[in-house]
Every structure is written in C-alpha cells, then in structure tokens.
Amino acid sequence: MKYSVTFLPDNITVEVERGTSLLHAASFAEINLKSSCGGAGTCGRCKVKVDTGYLLACKTLINDHMTAEIPDDTRLDEHKVLLSEKEGLLTAPRGVTLTDYPHVPLSRKIRVSIEAPSINENSSDFSRLQAEIAKQVGLKSLTISLPVLKGLAESLRKDTWNVTITLTYNGSNLEITSCEPGHSLTSCYGIAVDIGTTTVAASLVDLEKGISIDKVGTYNRQARLGDDVISRIIHGSDEKGLQELQKLIINTINELIDKLLSKWNMQSGDISVMVTSGNTTMSHLFLGLNPKYIRLEPYVPTANIFPVVKAKELGLAINPNGLIFSFPAVASYVGGDIVSGVLATMISKREELTLFIDIGTNGEIVLGNQEWLISCACSAGPAFEGGGITFGTRAMKGAIEKIDINPSTFETRVETIEGAKAIGICGSGLIDCISKMYSVGIIDRTGSFQDVSSSRVKRNENDKLFVLVWAKDSGLDKDIYITENDIKNLIRSKGAVFAGIESLLKTVQLDFNVVDKILIAGGFGNYLNVYDAIKIGLLPDLPMEKFKFVGNTSLRGSEIALLSQDAWKQAEIIGKMMTYIELSVGNLFMDEFTKALFLPHTDLTLFPSVK
Amino acid sequence: MKYSVTFLPDNITVEVERGTSLLHAASFAEINLKSSCGGAGTCGRCKVKVDTGYLLACKTLINDHMTAEIPDDTRLDEHKVLLSEKEGLLTAPRGVTLTDYPHVPLSRKIRVSIEAPSINENSSDFSRLQAEIAKQVGLKSLTISLPVLKGLAESLRKDTWNVTITLTYNGSNLEITSCEPGHSLTSCYGIAVDIGTTTVAASLVDLEKGISIDKVGTYNRQARLGDDVISRIIHGSDEKGLQELQKLIINTINELIDKLLSKWNMQSGDISVMVTSGNTTMSHLFLGLNPKYIRLEPYVPTANIFPVVKAKELGLAINPNGLIFSFPAVASYVGGDIVSGVLATMISKREELTLFIDIGTNGEIVLGNQEWLISCACSAGPAFEGGGITFGTRAMKGAIEKIDINPSTFETRVETIEGAKAIGICGSGLIDCISKMYSVGIIDRTGSFQDVSSSRVKRNENDKLFVLVWAKDSGLDKDIYITENDIKNLIRSKGAVFAGIESLLKTVQLDFNVVDKILIAGGFGNYLNVYDAIKIGLLPDLPMEKFKFVGNTSLRGSEIALLSQDAWKQAEIIGKMMTYIELSVGNLFMDEFTKALFLPHTDLTLFPSVK
C-alpha cells in the first residue's frame, strides 16, 4: 500500500510505502532535515508541522496520505553552511605553498607526437607511444588501464599521431589515465577534498601552475543520519546503512565537483586525480569499509592505509579512470585529516618541537618533529563547535564571537560575525564568555554561578543562566544566554584538550617550555583569542609568539599532496612514524583531566601569566 | 514487426524483428551454425532447409513467420571439436615440467593467525595482518584491492583471527586477492587458457602441487562469426561487433571453467589467477581492444603487452578479484601463443640454435637461442587444417591420416583416426597423400596431374581428381578424393612455410646446418610424418634426430607461467627481445616462395636425402 506525502512550503509530493518514516519520506523528496541523533527520536531536531501540531519526523510512520510543513529551523539549509570567508578557508592564498616539497604533481599532461607506423617500423601503437613518453619523462615503469588502452588506436589516429597523455602516479608506477587526440592546451587538474564529519570542502587545483583555482564547501549530507562520528558508525555498522552513508558522501563530493566544474566551465574528464583527507571513520565510509570496530573497544579500524582506487569504483564524477588517494590514518581517532595537517605544517620536516592541536568534536593532538611524532585523541565533545550548548552555533553570520562584561554593572557588549543581529554563540565567543564571566566574578574557578546582583543573572526551571543579549536586540526574538550547565560542558571540553596535551608531554617526559611552536588547526582557529584560551586553561601558558593559527590544514595537506609525489610519500611516512597514545589506558589522562576541570587549572603554577 | 522462427529438429522458436537474418535468428536460439565467411554469403556452409529447398541462413532475411531445419553438417557440433586424446592435448603429462623456472606460482595461499587486538596494541586489522604476512613471505610491498579490504574485518573475526590469505602477483607487487576465515586446507588454483582462433583449451592447475589436474577444450564460439582471423577482425572493427566477439570468447572460456569446476567440485572463488595465450587478434578480442589495424597495412596492433586486469573487469567466472594475465605478443601476426611456446620450450634459455615452427592458418616461425630471437609469420593458409581442401577436415575420428598407393595399380590403402570409416583428410593425411602421389607419378613436381591409367584418376566438371576412397567404403556415402586444385593449395601452403624458414635464416645469414633443433608445435604436430614433410619440401632436409614434436606449447607456456613468477617475467623478456621480420617488405620472401612452389623445391641440392 502506498501513500502520498506532500512537503510544504516546497510543495513536493512523494509516494511511499505504508510504514515509511516521515524522515525517510523527506529524504526521498530530496529535502534534508536536521537529525542529530540519526533518527533515534532523542534530539528533537526533525520536528515538522501537521494539522494537529508538531511531530518528530523520525518517529512518525506514514499510514495515510498526509501533508507536512517543514519549519525553517528543521531544514538542513545548505546556504548557511557554505564555508564563509570568515572561516578562513576562502581567504587562503591561491598559491599553494609547497615549502620543501618539489613540484612534481600526482598527475601531469604531456604532449606527444609519435611517428606514424610504417611497414619497416610496425611495432604496436602502445610501444611506439611508450618510446615517445620515455623521451619526455625518462624510462619509467609505465602502466595503462584497459579502458584507456581500448581508445588508444583511435585517439592516436584522430589528429595524425598528436596526442595529449595524462600520466598519473598510482602509488607505485606511472599510469596513463587518459589519451586525448591533439595537443591539448589546457592544464592538468586535481581536486583536494577535506571530508569532515560536518562539512566537506573541496579545492580545484591547477597541477601545472601549482595553485588552487577555487574552493567550495558544503554540509556533509550524511548529517541527516546523525551529527557526530559515533552515530554515523552505528548507522554504518550494517551493510545497508554503510552503503547509504557511502552514497551520501559520494553525492556530497560530486555536488562540490559539479559546482567547481560548471563554474570554471570544465568537464569531469579534465580531473584526473583526487586526494581526500578525513578522520578515520570518514575515510572508512568514503571507501565503503565498515567502521563498526572503530567504536568498540579496543577501537580498531579495518585499515590505516588505504588502496589507491579508480574514480569509477567509487562513482566519483571525475575521469572514471582517474585515481583517488586517501590520506593514511594513524588510529581510530587520529585520522588522515591530522596526517594531512602534519604534512601541511611541515612538522615532520623540521627540527623544532611542535605541538599541533586540532579542536573539533575530538581534540586531536600531535607532538614531535623530524625525529619522532606522537599523537592522541581526547573526546573534547562538540562544545567548541556549538554542540550541547543551549545557544551554541558554528561560526556563521550573527554568531557572537566576542563579548565584554562591565565588571560593576554586568552589562554586556557583544560582537557578532558580519555585525549581524546575534543568533547564537560560536566557539571563540564561548571561550571569551567564560573568560570574562570568570574575570568579573559571575562564575568561580569550578564554573559555578556566584551570587551576583544583575537582572542578567537568572534561573529558568532547570538551571542558572546569564543573559548575553536581550530578546529585543537578538536575531531570534528571544534572550540569548549561557547556562551553568553550558559552562560545565565547556570546562569539560577545555579540560580534556589540556589533559591531552599534558598526557603527551608527560609520556615523553618533557614539559611545556621545550615546545617551540604551537599550531592551532581547525575551523575556529582564526578567531580564537589566545589570551582567553590560556586564561580558561584550554591552551598552555606560553609566550604569544609561539602560537600560530594554521586554519584548515587538512584541505591544504591534500592540495600539497596533489602537487608533489614526494609530499604524498611523506604522508605515508608520517602515517607510519607517528606513535599513537591510547588515553584510555592507565590513569595518566584521567588524573590530568581531573586537575584541568578548573579555571584555569588546579595547579596555578602552570599558568603564571593568568594570575 | 516481429516474426516467429522455429528451428528443427531442435524445435526452438524465437521472435525476431523483420529483416533479421536467419543466421542471427539461429544464434538467438543458441544454435550455432557453420559460417566460415562470417555471413558474407560466400562459403555456403550455413545452408538450412525450408519447404521450398535449401537457403543460405546468412542471406535470408526474415519477413514472415517461418520454420527452418538445420542439417547436421550445417551445425557447429560441439562434440566433434572436443580436443581428442589423439590430438595430444589430453595425453600431456599431468605434471607440468618447469625445467629451469623456480616453482613460485603467480598466486599462493598462506595460513595466518594474527594476534587479537588489545587496548595496548590497537593498530588496524590490515596492519596487524600485514605484519603476520611479512613473517611468512618477507617484507614485501603488499597491496589489497578494495573489495577484499571491505570484507577483511569480518573474515578476521569469524574464526578467531585465523585466516587463509591468497597472495597474487599483479605484475609489480603482491596483492591480497582473497581473505577466507579459518585455515583452509584446499590448494590454490589457477587456470591456463590457450585462446585459439578455432579451438580454446583450458587447463586447471594446482599451483601448490605444480600439476595440471585436468584439461578441457571446445570450439571458440566466435566461429559463428567467421572461421579465420581476418573475418573476426572485420567483424570486430566496429564497437558492436567487437563487444559481440569479446562476449563470445568470454562465454567460451567461462563454459570451460564451469566444466572444470563442476567436474572437480570447486567454486569459482577457488580460482585466483588466469594466464591466457592467444594470437594477437585473439588477445585483442579477449580484452576488448579493437583489432582493426592488425589487418590494415602496416599491420599495427594496439598493444603487444597487455595490462593485468581483474577477472570482474572481463566478466570471467573466477574469483572476481582474481587477476588475468595475457601473454605479450611480438607483432600483429606473431602473438602471445608463440611467445608462450618459446617459453615452454626453453628456447630463450638455451645455447642451442632452435627453429620453432607452428603451422596453422598462419605459419609462425621463430629462430634463435638465449642470445637472440627472430620471428616471422607466413600466410600458410588453412590447407593443413583442412580448410580450402575439398575433403579437408581437422584431425578427428574418421580423418585419413595415412595413405599408401600401389605404384603399379594406383590402388590405395588408407589409415584413419580411430580406424573409423573415412570422412575426410586431415593435415598429416594430406601431406602423406601428396608425397605418395608424387612418388608414384600421379602428379609431377609442380603438382600437375599426369596422364596415368587408373579408374581413380578422373575429372569432374571443374578439375582433375584422384579418388582415395570409393563411396562404398567411405563414411560419407560418396567418393573421397583430392583435386589438382587441392594439391596446388597445399603446395602453396608448404611453400609459404618453407620460404618463411629460408627468409629467417637468410636474414641472419645462416644456413640449415647450424640449426641444432627443430620444434614442431600446434595441433597436427603429433601425426606429421617428418619424412613425408621433408619429401614434399615443407620441412628442411635435416637429420631426423633434430626434429621434435612439442604439441600445444601455447597452453603449456600458460601453465608454466601460472607456476612461476620468473617464467612470467621471462615471457615479458621474450616479447621484448624477439625481433619481428615483416615478410611483405622487400623481395626476399617472394623469391623464396616462388622457388618453393615445387616438390620439394627448385633447388634440389637443398634436399639431398629426397633424391
């Protein structure tokens, strides 16, 4: 039995089987609803309006024809998630800085003119072509994929033995991935992709010129099946769910490719190579590898190094014979995005001892230099990305990123991204907020609210709270506030990151002072106020000049790998040389974590400048 | 508009579009008709019976419902073409003689037990597996195909970390092509295939034991689209025809695999590697490469070395991740079957100067030793396979293989294969026949009939002829005879082969006497009477002990390559080191050919023993 379901205001009608959930019906209609819990019925984000009121789409099974209206804030709005200029991604310089890596891209085009065969020289088309290629690139072990070989004879003859050959490194040899008739004047292109759990960013790279032509980003479409890595793993633990998730990430990437290609008037065949970096779960889902055991103790991924595969094996919309590289991972929770970040920041090529911190849902931390690399992952939770915080939001227009509190009146003044009316608080705003609330005495060292006299300090039915923006000034028509529980969440997050840093240092029996550089990677890096971050005990108390924001190093590492075979080989070396410290073993981490659940820390001697 | 066509006596009815040829309709009904000319309407073999008489199926376009009866001798009968014991194929010893090549097969199984992961050793499944494999086979560059990696986690856990791994050489690295739970006790198997234009033979090889378990053969199903290489090339010159031919050869091979697997109670997944050898056109059609330019001057194939491909890329019914090797070719008319033959006979590994002759439709000739190899192809025509000869037939039951003629009475006594009533004359019978007719004076040195008085020497409307078997004694209820035109055809064939040999020797400025060994390969090798062959001038006049019949060396070379990676590498070397002499260049061949159009030759000093 089938029923019609109409979604408003889109006015899209789909036919579905009796018993289908409304959430699934929406996805058939190509409408993406928020669903942080992956359809478990717990997050409440997929609410839709029907005649009788609001329903959770995930828990509503269709047993009649119906009409449902999608409220704005239930919809996963693509426009909102385009990586803004503010996020630092689009402001990255077009030229990719290769630093020490030689510019020998994974793929290159060469223009070849071969002799026509004659009765005296009638060796095969392929062997005559090989001889000409060897003249240009030297005698190398050269392979050709069958589909390219199939078209070879005609391509060679179409423009009287002039062809443009694309040679792509396949991990061990050079492979001919395309043979076009004539001497093409166009460059050779690759695409770098950062596969994030929440957002996916892609960069179109001109491999000859060594520049990124354009970058685009979007939501990871998998988000409709759960917000975080754990809910994705659960969904992907059976074959059907795995296929669904793989299809969604492939579609997400294809959409980005399509956007880049149509904007730059290119064909999918023009792209001969892709490098992707993502956390270990994302890499598994991208390749269709079951992520089940990543979540179960002892947290074992299927693989940390991934085979180079052909685009058509995955259904990616580039040259079907093009090759797809996936950055190697280190462990279940230190993935290819971190290896890519280490590559991009040259840590493994320098003498200086560097601390690399990527704060997202997981805080991943790397310490080392050209001699050794050590890493760990601490469950920082999604607080700094706005998750689990009442008015938390990602860094977007209207997000509070800075706050001042008058120490006598407790009146506030906020700065928002693009100066828009406030709609929430992003990571940097939250850090600033705690720092300032602590400074003026609204909260104590443990994050508990103090008895201060201000109309802004209130109670709702569950919790104490501090109003940052009154309803009349906000973009939401309601008060924007932070609760005591929000503060405790944030303290747990910052404590986990700091304890991770301490654990790594103690493992190698070093202390802060020997660290030469601290690199802060990830989305919110560009807005983080280091003073505030030190003041709340998120970052170690070291001289300002040692800190550096490095932005989306995962994407940059992929761009660099596209442009340098040596860089790709270095990525493989990084993956192998990096030691992973499992923080759940022993008491080290828990001890450090407990000590870090204060502002800034129980041990104030660690934070001399805060006093 | 569609019409029904019913084929008798099979009583199979198919619906076809108006205008479909009856030959095509038969193929839809899975009935294979003889069609030597590939539907050109010239060979007359596809005749079928309808109410009004006989029609050529290829030239009959359907414009009404109809019924057609397939005469026995129009049908491509599979049973007749199974390679008989007599042909020497099935009598090959089970053990494959590897001679100098070490027994390191292209694919092997290893039984591995890996440590369960723990929180202290939680590296990935693949890296723990790699470490265990390295213990058994040494630290080698190891790859894994994505589909195998997908199943890895579950396979490892199914039998508590005991697995059986198949490692297959992929041309540059070892690749994990399967991972089965538990420690499998079965061996590792491969299939060797000789892809002949007419027949296809397959050998099931136990890669651990180094023996061939069983061999089967059948007609190449492509035969319905033309008997010889040239008609196949013409048919395969457009994309549709090419796909059709590729599908037919894949089906032929799958049928043989199926026969072997069901007989030996094995699964397709048990076969992890296949090596094929065929002439250059067959290799092209097998891989779906357009053979068009092989036929057009200057006779250029797309490739002489072929990529290693996965079984699923071609639709072969072995492990879909198994690997398919195709023997390298040398030129358009010296193919992988000849390279395989050179490999099997160790020519390129020996000091002795060897002449290798494979007489089929083309005579392919190789001369050389471990220092150098030189080859050519001469269009011998199909006479020695029975083609173009009035009562010519392949070596099968009832074929005349020996004949005696009384020098006074011209009465004959014939010997047939399996002693059955004569149904035709096979290659060895034809050679014997000419030799004896020349001896007793029925024909002169040019093959022209002489004026002898015998009821057996007659004329029909077109030609003079000599009756070998009277109708009453034959299996055909009619006289079996050989015509003057048949004799001339045979003389042209033997002349071409001999001229090819002479051309090779003259190119390197050597003469017969320095040749240490002469190897005769190919189907009719086992029955050829060397005395007769020398007497008619097909083979050079050298001492008997220098000649050796080597049978189907193409299949044997594939078996050897399956069993030895070194042998496969040697095949690649043979392909590269062998020089090809194009006989159509210059006058050398034509001069030699003209001289060889006599029995045995114009220059009798070349045949001292014949006098």
Instruction: Tell the residue number behind the tokens 């089970």, with chain if given.
Output: B94
Query: Once rounded to an integer, what is the mean pLDDT over residues B157-167?
Result: 97
Distance in Å, alpha carbon of A4 to nearest chain B alpha carbon: 38
* pLDDT computed for residue A488 by the predictor: 96
Tell me the HSE value of A67 on the side-chain side, using a 13 A CA sphere. 5
pLDDT at residue B220 greater than cutoff 50: yes
Q: Do B154 and A297 touch (CB under 8 A)?
A: no
Size of interface A-B (CB pairs under 8 A): 143
Q: Do A118 and B287 touch (CB under 8 A)?
A: no
- Choose among A408, A491, A499, A445: nearest CA to A610: A445
Contacts of A332 in chain B (CB under 8 A): 122
Mean pLDDT of chain B: 90
Contacts of A288 in chain B (CB under 8 A): 146, 150
Q: Do A143 and B307 touch (CB under 8 A)?
A: yes
* Nearest-by-CA chain A residue for B309: A146
Query: Once rounded to an integer, what is the mean pLDDT over residues B37-52?
Result: 79
Judge contact between A271 and A190, C-beta under 8 A.
Answer: yes
The Cα–Cα gap between B192 and B202 comes to 6
* Nearest-by-CA chain B residue for A176: B307
CA A55 to chain centre: 32
pLDDT at residue B79 greater than cutoff 90: no
Judge contact between B300 and A154, C-beta under 8 A.
Answer: no
Q: What is the pLDDT of residues A185-199, one digit of tens each?
A: 899 999 999 999 988
* pLDDT computed for residue B55 by the predictor: 85
Query: What DSSP element (H or E) covers A109?
Result: strand A107-113
The Cα–Cα gap between A597 and A445 comes to 9
- The minimal CB distance from B307 to the residues A145, A290, A313 is found for A145
Instruction: Tell the residue number behind the tokens 């060889």, with chain if given.
Output: B596
* pLDDT computed for residue A92 by the predictor: 39
Contacts of A146 in chain B (CB under 8 A): 287-288, 307, 309, 313
* pLDDT computed for residue A53 by the predictor: 84
Q: What is the pLDDT of residues B578-604, one digit of tens each?
A: 999 999 999 999 999 999 999 999 999
3-state DSSP assignment of residue B415: strand
The Cα–Cα gap between B326 and B306 comes to 6
- The minimal CB distance from A119 to the residues B146, B329, B582 is found for B582
* pLDDT computed for residue A95 by the predictor: 62
Distance in Å, alpha carbon of B285 to nearest chain A alpha carbon: 11
The Cα–Cα gap between A589 and A506 comes to 10
Q: What is the pLDDT of residues B454-504, one digit of tens each?
A: 999 999 998 999 999 999 999 998 999 999 999 999 999 999 999 999 999
Q: In Å, what is the CA distance from A204 to each residue of A219, A249, A272, A296, A318?
A: 18, 18, 11, 37, 12
* pLDDT computed for residue B87 by the predictor: 39
Q: Do B146 and A287 touch (CB under 8 A)?
A: yes
Contacts of A154 in chain B (CB under 8 A): 290
Contacts of A124 in chain B (CB under 8 A): 300-304, 329, 331
pLDDT at residue A475 greater than cutoff 60: yes
CA A483 to chain centre: 29
In this prediction, residue A54 has a pLDDT band, given cuts at 50, 70 and 90, of confident
Query: Once rounded to an integer, what is the mean pLDDT over residues B145-170?
Result: 97
pLDDT at residue B387 greater than cutoff 90: no
* pLDDT computed for residue A55 by the predictor: 85
Contacts of B419 (CB under 8 A, 6+ apart): none
Judge contact between A304 and A293, C-beta under 8 A.
Answer: no
Q: Do B303 and A127 touch (CB under 8 A)?
A: yes
Cα angle at A285 between A279 and A290, to 5 degrees? 110
The Cα–Cα gap between B178 and B167 comes to 8
- Choose among A525, A539, A529, A533: nearest CA to A91: A525
For residue A64, which amino acid is it?
A: D
Q: What is the pLDDT of residues B536-551, one digit of tens each?
A: 999 999 999 999 888 8
- The two structure tokens encoding residue B233: 């090339």
| Percent of chain A topping pLDDT 90 | 71
* pLDDT computed for residue B74 by the predictor: 80
The Cα–Cα gap between A482 and A188 comes to 51
Q: What is the pLDDT of residues A67-120, one digit of tens each?
A: 988 887 787 644 333 333 333 333 334 567 777 899 999 999 999 999 999 999
* pLDDT computed for residue B95 by the predictor: 62
Distance in Å, alpha carbon of A176 to nearest chain B alpha carbon: 11
- The minimal CB distance from A124 to the residues B150, B171, B304 is found for B304
* pLDDT computed for residue A83 by the predictor: 38
pLDDT at residue B28 greater than cutoff 80: no
Instruction: Tell the residue number behind the tokens 């009935």, with chain if given.
Output: B31
Q: Do B149 and A307 touch (CB under 8 A)?
A: yes
pLDDT at residue B46 greater than cutoff 70: yes
Respond yes or no on whether the N-terminal peptide bond of residue B298 is cis (omega within 30° of 0). Answer: yes
What would the DSSP string read from start to end of B140-208? --EEE-HHHHHHHHHHHHHTTTEEEEEEEE-SSSEEEEEEEES---S--EEEEEEE-SSEEEEEEEETT
Q: At what angle do helices A336-344 and A553-563 cross, to 10 degrees?
A: 70
- The minimal CB distance from B300 to the residues A124, A150, A287 is found for A124
Cα angle at A521 between A515 and A526, to 5 degrees? 110
Q: Do A303 and B154 touch (CB under 8 A)?
A: no
Q: What is the pLDDT of residues A528-586, one digit of tens each?
A: 788 899 999 999 999 999 998 888 899 999 999 999 999 999 999 999 999 999 999 99
Contacts of B303 in chain A (CB under 8 A): 124-127, 144, 149, 152
What number is the ipTM of this complex?
Answer: 0.84
What would the DSSP string read from start to end of B285-333? HHHT---HHHHSTTT--S-SS---EEHHHHT-SS-TT-EEEE---SBTT
Q: What is the b/e burial string over B246-268, where b = at least 16 CB atoms within 10 angstroms of the residue's CB?
A: bebbbebbbbbbebbbeeeebeb
Contacts of A326 in chain B (CB under 8 A): none
Q: Do B298 and A152 touch (CB under 8 A)?
A: no
Query: Once rounded to an integer, what is the mean pLDDT over residues A274-293?
Result: 98
3-state DSSP assignment of residue A574: helix
Backbone angles phi, psi at A434, to 5 degrees: -60, -45
Q: Hey, of B130, B133, B149, which one would you mutate to test binding to chain A, going by the most A CBs within 10 A of its CB?
A: B149
The Cα–Cα gap between A27 and A39 comes to 12
Q: Hey, of A158, A296, A300, A572, which one would you mutate to test binding to chain B, going by the most B CBs within 10 A of its CB?
A: A300
Backbone angles phi, psi at A4, to 5 degrees: -90, 135
- The two structure tokens encoding residue A143: 């392979």
Backbone angles phi, psi at B218, to 5 degrees: -155, 170
Q: What is the b/e burial string over A450-487, where b = at least 16 CB atoms within 10 angstroms of the residue's CB?
A: eeeebebbeeeeebbbbbbbeeeebeeeebbbbbbbbb
- The minimal CB distance from B585 to the residues A120, A144, A584 is found for A120
Query: Once rounded to an integer, what is the mean pLDDT over residues B442-450?
Result: 96
The Cα–Cα gap between B525 and B88 comes to 9
What would the DSSP string read from start to end of B431-447? HHHHHHHHHTTSB-TTS
Q: What is the pLDDT of residues A314-369, one digit of tens each?
A: 999 999 999 999 999 999 999 999 999 999 999 999 999 999 999 877 899 999 99
pLDDT at residue A525 greater than cutoff 60: no
Q: Do B582 and A145 touch (CB under 8 A)?
A: no
